[in-house]
Amino acid sequence: EVQLVESGGGLVKPGGSLRLSCAASGFTFSSYSVNWVRQAPGKGLEWVSSISSSSTYIYYADSVKGRFTISRDNARNSLYLQMNSLRAEDTAVYYCASSLSPTHPETPGYWGQGTLVTVSS
């Protein structure tokens, strides 16, 4: 069974930093692209970033470019999101979502339960 478990969320002051982690199990993590998707309280889904299976291709939403860094460690079956210069508008539940299959890198098929990041003074 595919499992994605996010951690690292919490309360941080504006301008601060936070590192999110996502532990994957139940599938060959190293063969799948993975995404971070966030959802502000009461709002819709917003794609944040994606990383290909071997980290060759990395993309970011304009809203986080230059502040967030996505990375992965295939040996540890883990995905990360380093978030710097955090703003109030970054407050959201952050979901880790793997692609549906190695041949569907553009489709987030499996999702974790999310971790809440709150940016407030």
Partner 1 sequence: QSALTQPASVSGSPGQSITISCTGMSSDVGGYNHVSWYQQDPGKAPKLMIYDVSNRPSGVSNRLSGSKSGNTASLTISGLQAEDGGDYYCSSYTSSSTLVFGGGTKLTVL
> Contact residues for partner 1 (CB under 8 A)?
35, 37, 44-47, 50, 57, 59, 61-62, 95, 97, 100, 104, 106-114
- Alpha carbon distance 94, 112 (integer Å): 9
What minimum distance in Å lies between the beta carbon of 74 and partner 1?
21
Of 46 and 87, which has the nearer Cβ to partner 1? 46
Of 30 and 100, which has the nearer Cβ to partner 1? 100
Kind and range of the H or E element at 20? Answer: strand 18-25
Q: Where are the alpha helices (DSSP H) in 52-108?
A: none
- Contact at 8 Å (CB) between 83 and 17? yes
Of 35 and 53, which has the nearer Cβ to partner 1? 35
